[in-house]
Chain A
Amino acid sequence: MTNIREVRKESEFLLDVRELKTYFHTFKGVVKAVDGVSFSLKRGDILGVVGESGCGKSVTGFSVLRLIDSPGRIEGGEIIFEGDSLLKKSEREMEKIRGNKISMIFQDPMTSLNPVYTIKKQICETLELHGGLRGKEAHNRAVELLRLVGIPSPESRVNYYPHQFSGGMRQRVIIAISLATSPSLIIADEPTTALDVTVQAQLMKRLYQLVKSNNSSMILITHDLSLVSGVSDNIIVMYCGRVIEKGSSESVISMPAHPYTVGLLESIPKMTGERKMLHQISGMVPNPFEMPPGCSFYPRCELGQKICEAEYPRLREIEEGHYVSCHFAGRRNF
């Protein structure tokens, strides 16, 4: 009974992920790539998912689309999208959602386009499959999409092959494809990491405008805190497969509470002000096969105490909408 009530309560959200668990069963043991991740996303919002490599941020993105290949498996939790549970859908139903209502932008612009087809063919394929557009109509829409993402003279470039574009231009094409069906959710996994700063700035600006003007939502997965802070409404910070802090962009960036977030922010070199010795988080991310039983950040944490070693801290709300998973955060100044 409680389930129904909860669903109704959360229906203001476009996407609601609860206690998601995705594990990989390898020959060395089980890797809990995503271990109890919960977040929700309102229509029109941009959510930044930040963390270092191996923290499970990409796997979270793939899990939402149920694109987890063996030896990985979604072991538990709920993914509710537009009121429906995605985990209960058949593979066929998922195919209708992927690339249509939810689309994905991958990191590598060099490999996410098929090199043997023209751009037009690749955009029209999506339009045909999900939008039912054909022939002239599809062609016009493809040109329009390319114009939208800022490709100059789209009428002629629509007939280009991927190799005729530069990296930045290809990523624009990929964005165009992902927008083709006006999806309500876009999952962008490190969309600008392979690109130069000036191109990144152009592209993020364009993507931001398009998402906001379509009233779509976006999950922006990246390692770059500065980039996320400039774009997203909310941020979740992940570490070792778990959400360790979440809240609005302003509060997470200006008042970080988890020692990991604090350390991360302090270890980024600044563009202005006096140069200081960079703060460094000592040690490394723990081996995924030998996760500490308690707080996974404990071995590297300056605040660590007995309780941290034994017990995993649950997410607590330290101020409105700002959650942190630390026994000591907010209780002490640091």
Chain B
Amino acid sequence: MSTASVLSEIDRELELSGRPTVLDEQAKREVRRAMLSAVCIPGYQVPFGSREMPVARGWGSGGLQATLAMGGSEDVVKVIDQGDEEGVNAVNLRRLIRGTLGCGTTADTREASIVQSRHRIPEDRMVAGQTIVLQVPNSEPLRGVEKSVRECNRMHAEADYSRIWVGMYEDLVTGGVVNTGAGYPVMVNDRYLMAPSPIPRWDVPRLNDSDHLTILSHGRDKKIYAVPPHTPVAPVTFDDVPFEVEFTEGTTCGLCGSADTFMVQTSDGRFLCSDVEWCRRVRDHDVDPAEHRVIAPLQYLPDAGKRVRATAEDYLVDPGLLADESAGFRDAVTTTAPGAEWTLKVSGLGKTYPARRGSSAVVAAADVDFDVAPGEALGIIGESGSGKSTVMKCIIGDEYQAQGDVRLAGFDDARTNILQLTPTERRNLRISALSVVYQDPAMGLNLRISAGGNITERLTAAGWRNYRAIRRRAAGLLDRVEVPLNRMDDAVGQFSGGMRQRVQIAKALATDPDVLLLDEPTTGLDASVAAGVLDLLRELLAERNIAVVVVSHDFSVIDALTDRAIVMHRGRVIETGLTDQLFADPHEAYTQRLVAAARG
């Protein structure tokens, strides 16, 4: 018997039963397939052909499809909204589910084979064989930090979730607590960031290593995801910042007296269990209170003594206490390619922009060769349009489809030409192998978040998860680049140009990269401010064993920072040498002009 004939048989039986069809059998099959995929990849949002339902989008159309697709006449379904089976929405959905499946319904969690819920997990323990279907109004946990759907997809694909931690860091420095209420983001199976439908934080620990299956379905956005039994689920937080559940001191349920349930307030100021059925059973002595104490998230009750503001940050007032921070900076580490002395080697690098309507083909760079050793700084000098910035962009990965060969000693022992890597791999290199300081701080910083938050972004990308360690590291870096630590928690957008550039430098150095690229680092600044930043850079380069490439049109910048330099003109290298010599005795007329300009 073919699948098609089975399905049409079911459809015919349904028709004979007189029950209304809300979802045809083919559609149910598609939903079931999506649910199976979701179970296979816990936390991953599986797209599915979500149909329009008799309830509006946002009213449980996704949850309804999941329940109808997996349920049958032998199921017993419990439906709750806010933990309450008597709410109008729960009544409505129960009516629909029973009317179309011909199944039984119950209020008792113990009797249910499927629980469909909005905003709650029942207080009672759910067991193996039971399934909870959570209705989801927003399946994208990254929406709060990223509005582009494409970018969110990329972040999930690459498990690039550092900005979620940055968001929490910013909450902590501005308010002392994480502001996320319900719908607290969780990591599922150590891989996917997931929005646990907006269940209260109280219910989040119940997702972890559960005995039952959780299906989360978002009809409007056409996504289904799942937490299979015994999957690790962890609320996103720093290692040293305890996750907190909702708690109001001294509250007990005004009806059943429970103190270990999620409660909501009434107009007379009393609190009541949000799970109405549980509350009734407590009053009927039909529960196992000891068992409930075990599954209630009491270990996550807020403890003011463990909040971040309970720890003094004396170093903010006395940066001398950060002396040990510099120990973390790279000083003894030397990364060179096997059998060679360089950290970065560029051979035959070229970039051609093809002709398009409105612009002709441009050979922006061709046949560029150089290498840089640890502790060495190489200058690339040229007029604007000479190709120097193109070279830098090709190395850092802001431009793709370059010709030639670029190798890093710190990546795959220099066996791989990084120009051949995928964009994802190129981005990963920028976490700790390669850093860049742009002329425009807005290119390298998020101006809406704090100086410390910007550094946090790099550190969390590199895997740092300890808030206090991040604070200390960020303070050490900011102090080193002479940003006053009382400005550490201010949004960078409020900083002057020179100060922004210092923050960008601190961020670039945060993970001790092997290679640092400086693209006109002082060009946007007033002369006096530029001089200060230049002095700082000179000191930083001197104290670190880092390979540096400095790109500038200004020979005095190249002279101040570098040992060797190459001169670029019309995309090509026309002269190379020790910076001193080039500056003192330039051979090419073009180089002579650059030197003359720098000497004023």
Whether chains A and B associate is: no
Binding site for A on B (CB under 8 A): none
